[in-house]
Structure 1
Amino acid sequence: MIRFRNPGSDLDTMIAVLKQLYHELHEKDFFDNTDIAKVLSKANLMASSGFTGDKAVALGANTNKSRDKTYNNAKMYAEIFRILGFLSIVNDAASNYRFTFIGEHMAAAGVDAKLLIEQCVLGMNNPNRIMDVSYKESVRFFSCVLLTMLELDDMLYRDEMILGPMSVNDNSEEDFTNMIDFIKSLRKTKSERKLSTELEKLAKSQTDNKKEGMTVNSVQNCTRFPISVLKYCGWVENIRCNIYGKSMVFMKLTPYGKETANKLKTYKDIRLEDYEKLSKSHREALIRLGTYSMLGRAGFETNVVQAEMDKDAKEIESITEGKEVLFSPYQTLDFITVNDALNLQLTPYTASQKNQQSAVLKTYAKRIIKKNVVELDYNTAINQNLMTEDTDNFIRNVMQLIQREKSTEQIVKILVEEHRGDNKGEFYPLVETLFRIIGVDCRKSRDGVNAERWDAMIRDAHKSIPIEIKSPGEEENVSIKAIRQALENKIVLLSRKTYITDCQTSSFVVGYKAPNDRAEVAELIQNIKETYGYKIAVFDIASLFLMAVNIIVNKKGINIEKLYGLEGIVNVKDIDC
């Protein structure tokens, strides 16, 4: 049975711990569990008997490390971070750690962590070369959970998860099918007693710290971390069912969870045993493609390594079958092997290298930059209440292009070219038109009205969004100045309360083209979020065209609720193109 350490069930706290560890320890050649414990206590991120800081360390201290609370808490964090691919062992020592390339991105790049967390939990697989564990199951656990739920009416109970995905070899189609049939047979009994009996049998069959048998409570405690992850990622929600003869709390797939599960079916899932059958060049190509694909799905801009990814994808096409690859190198292989394939050199850190280290981190930030992916996969239709003469004219233009047998992509290119020479008078009303078709009440500000400092406003009863617009006549690419103005718009709106909004709702920038220096703009957007707590989202006009045209032609758009929380340089992905 798969076991998970449980340093805590709050993923936001775990991420905060990782960032603090990176801040304090990334300059060391390596660090250990004692270093981690000191950082946690110093930053008041660990408690003992209700105390934090030095008091927590004093209360938890014990000359026997196996009984030292602070040391063991640090050890549990290190284990989780290794499983997630953020830390890796170096020097062939059990507790000498360094941050991985993925860990650098999570901690140093300062980007929103959730999408990368999702990719890392999906990357968890056993067996691997990074953890020495007693359990023998061959399973990509979180993928297995989601796919299991698809087969079980989108629902799963905690004890079913233990008897099923935590105890199965999911790389065997026969074993997976037998597991599904077993859980279905338990449900048919409608007996909680039968379920409990099977769980007791499993617990007694386990070995814990070389002792035969585990208690049911100990086994159930192993589910705290995975359940918290499933909820954090937005894949499941709680629902009450009486499948076993009484009302019990089940996990139910959310629409996003179901979407994720269905996407997993389209990936080529590659495990350690598959990797080991490959030649050296194919192994290295898989490592690069696996790493960059994870970052791409997590919303990082991978354009700068796209040529390398294309080359690697072609080299191992017979292995991946042309599918998107699901393979997380730092969660499967040793640190040196992965770094060598990525051409990342492990060098000792010295004080004289401080400037060089800072340059490396800047290289990381520029090499793969955060973007916000918007998938147009939400069934929607044009809201007639938002239509105006301008929207009607735009829709007619699009339909005429469709009649000329133009694809969505071709239509967007034609429209972008048509508006290349626009000034404020043409471009600002165009932005209003596009947002109305997308499904929000957008209104261009009146000229000369000082109270309306923004160029347009998405009006909402609770989450109004100010929009800073830059026509191609003003600047072809969105500039740093536009980002600063978007911040000012947010501050003024919150201060004057001209329209109702909140601190969590974004402030938008719309320009003709995306920023030239994406790294600098992305860094400023992140600095604004870290300093003020405000989100800035940047759209180029092609993205708005694509969103609007897709609604007109395919009746597919973005869930409007997602629109309010966008941040970073937005990348619109039309899944129907």
Structure 2
Amino acid sequence: MHRFPNPSSAVDTIINCFNVLYENIDRDEAFGLFDMQEILVSNGLISSSGATGIRALLKGSNKDLSRDKSYNQCKMFAEIYRFLGWIQSYETALNFTFTQLGDHVASAVDEKPLVEICFLGIEFPNQLIEVSGSYSIRPFASIIKFMSELDGVLSRDEMILGPLSMQDDRDEDEWNTRVELIREFRQKPNDFKKALNETLESRGIKKATAENYTRFPLGALKWLNWAHPVRDKRHYKKSTHTYRITETGKEISAALQSKLDFRLEDYEMLPTESKVPIAKSAFYDILEIAGFDITDIQNEKSEWDQVAQTMLGHKILFSPYQAIAPDELRKIFKTQPPSSKRESIYSPSITYEHRSYEAAYLALNEAEYTVSETHVENTFIRDIEPFLEGYSESEIISKLKSKYSSYNKDKFYPLIGNIFGVLGLDCEISPHGVNSRRWDAVIKSDNDSLPIEIKSPTEELNISVKAIRQAVENKIILQSRKSLENKRPSTSLAVGFDLPANRAEVSQLIDDFKNVFEIDIAVIGIDYLLKLAIKCLRNNYTLSFDELSTKAGIIND
């Protein structure tokens, strides 16, 4: 089974972190994982050891790098950026430089069309990353094709047993056998479970680990709008959590049928004189499809395209920066290697001894970084960080409540999402005016979700009975429309500035909804959320989804 890293299942986070790295590392500099740690952790884009920002970077330092959480998170980011073709190794495996493909991702006004092609371009094996096993797959193209051939649906476990476990996804016999096996297993769930367990056991992979490997592809499928989670009763013996292909996914699947699946092994078999024009034709095809202006090289591209057409006879699916070795790519595209190595401010050794902590903090605090507002994931971190040292819990809550007391919905709703993010939860704020998403925000897990009704202090200072009714409506609509996976027993949240003024009335209404509709409502004020955030950032605490999903009533502690 192919093992995808999972630094984040949110593609927006992966892109944001890349863009921040690109903004803060000179294009002609090589950089390493410590540079990535310094930039991403100290600027609050990823957390470590229950802290954020510079404190997180220094607090998480460890002589044993396998125990350094943010170091290993950066290592996973780097692996993703390499197989997406945005960075490549230089001289050593963990020393990197940006690529031409990465340049275009960073400069794109709308990077999504190019990122979509990059996901289709992922192939293993390649000359960029060593992977264990001798399999040959193009995973994302195979996932969407599997889905198309299996009535438009594919579950997480079917993904594990199917496209991610193929030995050669261009072997027609193996492909057809695997597709029909999964189709048959849909009516024999016990046989499917047995086959899945045997496959994983033979490869020494635990079920929970295999599921973790699917977080990245499943997150990408949703972000790309190729597939969305649903419960399906039609194609399975019993109702099953699965993913259904969207219209966009169908268009992608159809487009794949019109292209030759051309891979590294095919490239290596080309005559020497054909390699450069075919690689250039493929690369500039990608840029043109993604909306970049390639007028300046159109004449040359016509010549490269002619070579490709003569040799291969079809348009090809091939991304050179996701397959070919860096040294050869520099020769093909006549690019220069980095001229220097970035001078890092941070390395773990500076904090091994307590006496160096303050000097390291000052050096990092004085460093100047470019972090565009669009890439800053969590502005709440900037609000709370100055108070974490030297202020009591009550003082911090008082200061921040004073700041937030005049926030309207445009500021308050994202703030609530950011606080839940600090708590370790995946909270998504709904865009205004989208009627299909009645809730103001939603907290998601792999197989459940919690809708949130939010009231800003300018809407109502104290959470009212109206918010409770709307929280009930959110739950009913989510259960009815099934736009997200949602378990019936899970709570629905009402979040506001202050708890209800008339608590008896609200508590009675919550009890009534529970007794009549069997719907739990949890009412949360910002004091409680701030208290949890302080606990999280100071004491390495996280609030689990399961813990929150079982809360009900007016929450004080």
Structure 1: gaps spanning 5 or more residues: 207-212, 352-461, 464-577
What is aligned with 1:229?
220
Map 1:457-472; keep pairs closer than 5 Å.
none
What is aligned with 2:444?
none
What is aligned with 2:45?
45
Q: Distance in 2 between matches of 1:302 and 1:101?
A: 14
**Structure 1 position 5, deviation (Å):** 0.2
Among the aligned pairs, what percent are the same residue?
Answer: 35
What is the DSSP-based 3-state SS (H/G/I as helix, E as strand, rest coil) of the residue aligned with 1:47?
Answer: coil
What is aligned with 2:187?
188
Structure 2 residue 199 is the aligned partner of structure 1 residue 202? yes
Match of 1:140 among 122, 127, 138: 138
Map 1:470-489; keep pairs closer than 5 Å.
none
Q: TM-score, normalised by structure 2?
A: 0.59
Whether the 8 Å CA contact 2:126–2:264 is kept in 1: the answer is yes
What is aligned with 1:72?
72
Map 1:328-343; keep pairs closer than 5 Å.
328-343=319-334
Q: Distance in 2 between matches of 1:22 and 1:178?
A: 44
Any idea what the Cα deviations from partners look like across 1:358-398, whole Å, max 9, x if unmatched?
Answer: xxxxxxxxxxxxxxxxxxxxxxxxxxxxxxxxxxxxxxxxx
Whether the 8 Å CA contact 1:90–1:97 is kept in 2: the answer is yes
For these two proteins, the number of residue pairs brought into alignment is: 343
Any idea what the Cα deviations from partners look like across 1:458-479, whole Å, max 9, x if unmatched?
Answer: xxxx79xxxxxxxxxxxxxxxx
What is aligned with 2:208?
217
What is aligned with 2:25?
25
What is aligned with 1:166?
164
**Structure 1 position 350, deviation (Å):** 9.3
Taking structure 1 as reference, are residues 347 and 159 closer, same or farther at Cα in structure 2, changes over 3 Å only? closer
CA RMSD of aligned residues (A): 1.9
Q: Distance in 1 between matches of 2:100 and 2:51?
A: 34
Q: Distance in 2 between matches of 1:220 and 1:195?
A: 16
Whether the 8 Å CA contact 1:287–1:342 is kept in 2: the answer is no
Query: What amino acid sits opposite 2:54 in the alignment?
Result: D
Query: What amino acid sits opposite 2:218 in the alignment?
Result: I
Structure 2 residue 323 is the aligned partner of structure 1 residue 324? no
Taking structure 1 as reference, are residues 319 and 141 closer, same or farther at Cα in structure 2, changes over 3 Å only? farther
Query: What amino acid sits opposite 2:200 in the alignment?
Result: A
What is aligned with 1:570?
none
Query: What amino acid sits opposite 1:343 in the alignment?
Result: K
Q: Distance in 1 between matches of 2:124 and 2:333?
A: 23
Match of 2:147 among 127, 149, 171: 149
Query: What amino acid sits opposite 1:55 in the alignment?
Result: R
**Structure 1 position 346, deviation (Å):** 2.5
Query: What amino acid sits opposite 2:270 in the alignment?
Result: L
Q: Distance in 2 between matches of 1:27 and 1:345?
A: 11
Whether the 8 Å CA contact 1:288–1:309 is kept in 2: the answer is yes
**Structure 1 position 345, deviation (Å):** 2.6
Whether the 8 Å CA contact 1:100–1:335 is kept in 2: the answer is no
Any idea what the Cα deviations from partners look like across 1:503-550, whole Å, max 9, x if unmatched?
Answer: xxxxxxxxxxxxxxxxxxxxxxxxxxxxxxxxxxxxxxxxxxxxxxxx
Whether the 8 Å CA contact 1:27–1:349 is kept in 2: the answer is no
Taking structure 1 as reference, are residues 330 and 27 closer, same or farther at Cα in structure 2, changes over 3 Å only? closer
Any idea what the Cα deviations from partners look like across 1:424-473, whole Å, max 9, x if unmatched?
Answer: xxxxxxxxxxxxxxxxxxxxxxxxxxxxxxxxxxxxxx79xxxxxxxxxx
Query: What amino acid sits opposite 1:51 in the alignment?
Result: A
Query: What amino acid sits opposite 1:179 in the alignment?
Result: R
**Structure 1 position 320, deviation (Å):** 2.5
Q: Distance in 1 between matches of 2:149 and 2:196?
A: 21
Larger relative contact order (C-alpha < 8 A, sep ≥ 6)? 2
Query: What amino acid sits opposite 1:135 in the alignment?
Result: G
Any idea what the Cα deviations from partners look like across 1:47-101, whole Å, max 9, x if unmatched?
Answer: 124421122223422110111111101101000100100010112x111100000
Match of 1:345 among 336, 349, 358: 336
Q: Distance in 2 between matches of 1:178 and 1:301?
A: 43
Match of 2:117 among 119, 131, 152: 119
Query: What amino acid sits opposite 1:148 in the alignment?
Result: F
What is aligned with 2:81?
81
**Structure 1 position 344, deviation (Å):** 2.1
Q: TM-score, normalised by structure 1?
A: 0.57
Taking structure 1 as reference, are residues 7 and 283 closer, same or farther at Cα in structure 2, changes over 3 Å only? same
Map 1:231-270; keep pairs closer than 5 Å.
231-242=222-233, 243-270=235-262
Q: Distance in 2 between matches of 1:129 and 1:151?
A: 31
Structure 2 residue 55 is the aligned partner of structure 1 residue 55? yes
What is aligned with 2:176?
177
Query: What amino acid sits opposite 1:20 in the alignment?
Result: V
What is aligned with 2:422?
none
What is the DSSP-based 3-state SS (H/G/I as helix, E as strand, rest coil) of the residue aligned with 2:222?
Answer: helix
